[in-house]
Structure formats: structure tokens, C-alpha cells
Structure 1
């Protein structure tokens, strides 16, 4: 899924990844050369001869950043991706994530597509995987899952197997994956076995070497660190997050993406 991109001016986010990509491809070590020859760069950075120990967890995201190409992300999931509990769609985590990444990756055209539908469990989401996720041709999918499954009686074994298969399908399509575990909230805490789905998401991430956003731990941490109170964190239904919680989640997701994409320096320009 290679797209031709014309030469562009030096961008302030260019980093050591840009230098590695250019050197490995035998190009001049300047951003315009890499951008001009974007079609010549393979989708997998390890094919460029870069040491595998340096290969990022999100190689397709790293490639887009390195060549200054548009970055498309699909936020896939259920109600907390859709933004239930937020005061407006602009305050849902995908919209806030798009704004955060555009600020951090100055000059990159970042688009985060919200593909969250409230109430869905794993089978509901798999039914639209090709259309809503793979068909959108993103470089990254953030899949928030495991919240509704215990509430709707999905077996843990089925959830684990179906999620594993789906992550493999997404990656086989040349798309990076980040998993997001279920939220911490009183309703899920009171649901027998709910924590096992959280643990299953973590296990799948470990098994497939996929980054996992540990949302439950993050939410506990925000309260313990005094970033907000439990009342400020949750919407009135006690299940979904409110605006301030979604803003913190978006910020944590942006940091996770940039960390897992490799040593990207977003504030220092490349010396000419």
C-alpha cells in the first residue's frame, strides 16, 4: 500500500529514523530525497537492512513519520471509542488523539477515523472488520475491546481465539495494531469474570508482540496522582468516561504510539 508523495520542505519532526531509512535505501540523507523516493521504500523497515533490534513495534507508523507521509489511524471498538459519555464527538478520545498527534507531529497530516459502535462485542466487531477497518487502509488500528463481552455472556475462550485471529488478519493486511484493554469502572468490577477479559487482552498482546494500552491501570493512576477525581473521570452512567477522562486517554494513546513507533524526535529539525 505505497503512495507516491512529492518532495516537501524539511519538517521539524524528522529524526534518526529518517537518517536510517535514507542510508539503508542508499539515498542522500535529506528529507526531500526520502520523500521523493517514497515509492522505493519497502513497507517493512527490516527489509531496509536496519538492525532488527532497532525495529519499532509499529513499523508502518514509523515509515509514515520517517518519510513525512500522511498517517491514517482507525480507532476501532465499542462505546468508549464511539465517545459515549463525552459532551460532543470532538471530546471523544479519537478526535482528541487526532489533535494531540497533529500537535506532536507538526507538519504530518494525521487522520483518526472513529469506528466505534456502542454495545458491540467481539463477534459484532468482526462482522465489520473488513469494511470499517481493513477497507479504510490505515497504517494503524487501535482496537478497544473486551468491555461488552463479559456483560453479554461471550465465553473467554471464544473471545481469546477470535481476537487473536482478527489481529493476525489486520497485520496480514499490512496494518499495525495497538490493543486497548477494557476500562476500569464499578459496573465491570461487579461483573463476574470481567477482569479475565482484561487479562486476555494483555495476554494476546504478549503472544503476538502487539502493544497494549492498559486503560484500567491508567485510570487508577490518574486518580491516585490527583489528575482528576472519580466523579470527574466517569460520566453520569458510571460506565463510560467523561470529557476529562477521554482527554487523558487520548494523551496516553498518543505517547504510546510515538514510543512504539521508535525514537522519533518531533521538535528538532534534521541538520542540512
Structure 2
């Protein structure tokens, strides 16, 4: 098959996709839209036979699963903030709270939404990349939320190495057909006292902007939660001055949920492509 020039529609491949395009009526698809929260207006362009050969905006795989009724699989990948160090129980960590929140927000998917916690405390970028295949790519999730950058700053990892390794991993995730949301380092007393820590926060933001990957700006959010009186410092931070406490994880889960739903809303949904593998 000859390659199709970028920017031009390309035909669907595979008999399964063709059958789905022929049998999935616009009425049936739009019925799913009625089940979505008002926050999420997918606004389909129901050109079921074609899609653009360009890098998709938003979170297209998540949007497809929401539109077609799931299942929706998410991997929360990162270090201690993902594992839930500082939380009173595993259920109070942000991944478990995110799963519960998305099930409430998308009741037509309900238990078909899963969020796997693949956080390991203390890891920097090289340790995370060593398990990227096993913990993230092999399970073939629709979305990975990657929290990164905190331990790299604390351990003196080269900023250039962090950027290059993270960018290479993001490209691998995209090549595997996985949507990605990045989560930047936290704001906390320990990182405030670490020279150059803000450069890792800025590097995560820059990678997101350069590659079109949504970024949860956790540092700004945490400052806002204090400034707006939503949490006290005791409710936000664990006693070690580095990790979050239950109150912080609860609001972080809300921010992650917003990122997922906003990313799905921003994505053009190629519904017929959902039948391909």
C-alpha cells in the first residue's frame, strides 16, 4: 500500500473497521453522548469512513472508549506520589480516588473503568524507564498518567538526560497507541530547598508543550489550594515535608479526572477506527 501524504484522509484498514463503520449508526453512537456528563461534549464529526493522518489532539483513545462504552484502562505511572506515600491507606492515594471519581462521572462505563497503580517510591527517570515495557506498554492501556521529575531533582540527575529520556519514552508510548498525560513535580518544602528543582518542573511543562501532551500543573495547583483556603498546609503535606497527605491526594485525583475528561473532550473521535487493532 502506498503511503498517504500527511494532512489527507486515508482509508480505514481491516474488515472489522469496515463492518463497524457500516453497522454502527450515528443514533447509537450519539446515545452514548447522552450518558456523558455535561463537562464532556464530544461533538463528533460522524465521517465514519475517514480520519486524518496527523498527530491527534487531546486523548483520542480515551475519547473512543468513552463514546463506545468502554472498557477504559488507565495506568498511573510514577514514583511515591503515585504509589501514595503519605496517604493513610492505599484507597486514599490518587489513583484509587481517580478510578472512583471517573466511575461516578461516567456511569455508563462504571466498573469498566480501571486505574492500575504502578507507582514505586524513590524512582527517577532511569528506574521508571527500566520497567516501562512491563508495567505500562505490555498491559496496553488506553491512557498512562506519568508523574515524574521529583526524584530526579532530589538526586541530581542531569536535566538534559531527564529531558532526553522522558521524550524518548513519550514517543514510545505514542508509537504503542497509548494516550499520555504528564504530571509535574509537586510544590513542597523539600523541593523548595533543592537548588534547580524548578527546572525539572519547567522541563515537564516544555515537553508537554512541544509534544502536545497535557500536563497536570501540580505545583501551581498545590499553591492555589493553599491560597484559596481549600486546604491547610497540614492537610496538604505529610509530616516529612515532601509527600502529600490525604487532603492533597483527594484534590490531585480531582485534577487528574479533569485532565482525563478535558483531554477526551478535545480529541477528534475516529469512531470507525475503534474496530481496528
Give the TM interval when normalised to the shorter protein: 0.7 to 0.9
**Corresponding residue of 2:169:** 166
Of 201, 205, 208, the match for 2:204:
201
* Deviation at residue 16 of structure 1 after TM alignment: 5.6
Gaps of 5+ in 1: 27-46, 265-272
**Corresponding residue of 2:135:** 132
8 A contact 1:56–1:62 mirrored in 2: no
Per-residue CA shift, 1:99-156, capped at 9, x if unaligned? 1111111121210000000000000000000000001110101000000001112100
What's the secondary structure of 1:87's corresponding residue?
coil
What's the secondary structure of 2:242's corresponding residue?
coil
Relative distance call for 1:16 and 1:49 in structure 2 (3 A) is: farther
8 A contact 1:76–1:116 mirrored in 2: yes
8 A contact 2:146–2:183 mirrored in 1: yes
After the TM superposition, which segments of 4 or more aligned residues of structure 1 sit over 2 Å from their partners?
2-5, 7-11, 14-20, 47-50
8 A contact 1:78–1:116 mirrored in 2: yes
What's the secondary structure of 1:75's corresponding residue?
strand
**Corresponding residue of 2:47:** 24
Root mean square deviation of aligned Cα:
2.7
The reply to whether residue 178 of structure 1 matches residue 181 of structure 2 is yes
* Deviation at residue 19 of structure 1 after TM alignment: 4.7
- Structure of greater relative contact order (alpha carbons < 8 Å, 6+ residues apart): 2
**Corresponding residue of 1:247:** 250
**Corresponding residue of 1:44:** none
Task: Work out the CA distance in 2 between the residues paired with 1:19 and 1:162.
Answer: 36
Task: Work out the CA distance in 2 between the residues paired with 1:169 and 1:233.
Answer: 34
**Corresponding residue of 1:146:** 149
**TM-score under structure 2 length normalisation:** 0.80
**Corresponding residue of 1:82:** 83
What pairs up with 1:206-217 in 2 under 5 angstroms?
A: 206-217=209-220
8 A contact 1:24–1:49 mirrored in 2: no
Paired residues in the alignment total 239
Relative distance call for 1:252 and 1:16 in structure 2 (3 A) is: closer
8 A contact 2:62–2:143 mirrored in 1: yes
Gaps of 5+ in 2: 1-15, 268-277
* Deviation at residue 97 of structure 1 after TM alignment: 0.4
Task: Work out the CA distance in 2 between the residues paired with 1:74 and 1:210.
Answer: 16
